[in-house]
Amino acid sequence: MNYRLPKSERLYADKLIKELFNEGSSFFLYPFKVLFYVKGEVEKGTVQVLFSVSKKKIKKAVGRNLVRRRIKEVYRLNKSLLGLDGKQISIGLVYVSSDLMEFADLQPKMISILKKLSLLLSQNDPKNDKNS
């Protein structure tokens, strides 16, 4: 089990971020708006994640950084719930609450997000279609 979150797993390229926001799908699960985009088949499945906390919702940088660190930690510990299956996946986690949530409150939310995302990705997988 790899609990690291290296730079290769972070979404930071402007082109990929625009692609995620323009062509990706989304769902809302409080306190997150989750965007995801499946690029296609690659040899080794990769997931790149973007963490965003709105300046409009949380005014002080100290609070935004605190929430962002908590979100990263919760994702890092639970990213194994997300099945890869040789796909390149971009995920955007946008924090929309104006409250500073505790780690213990964020963890069950992130687990349910990753499970729902895994389910959505497996439903859209052409390998899993029973009609073929």
DSSP string of 34-78, one letter each residue? EEEEEEEE-SS-EEEEEEEE-TTTS-SHHHHHHHHHHHHHHHHHH
What residue ranges do the domains of the chain occupy? 7-116
**Could you list the pLDDT tens digit for every one of the 132 residues in the chain?**
678 889 989 999 999 999 999 999 999 999 999 999 998 766 677 899 999 999 999 999 999 999 999 999 999 999 988 876 677 899 999 999 999 999 999 999 999 999 999 998 888 765 554 443
CATH architecture of 7-116: 2-Layer Sandwich (3.30)
Which of 63, 131, 127 has its CA nearest to residue 99?
63
Instruction: Quote the pTM value.
Output: 0.88
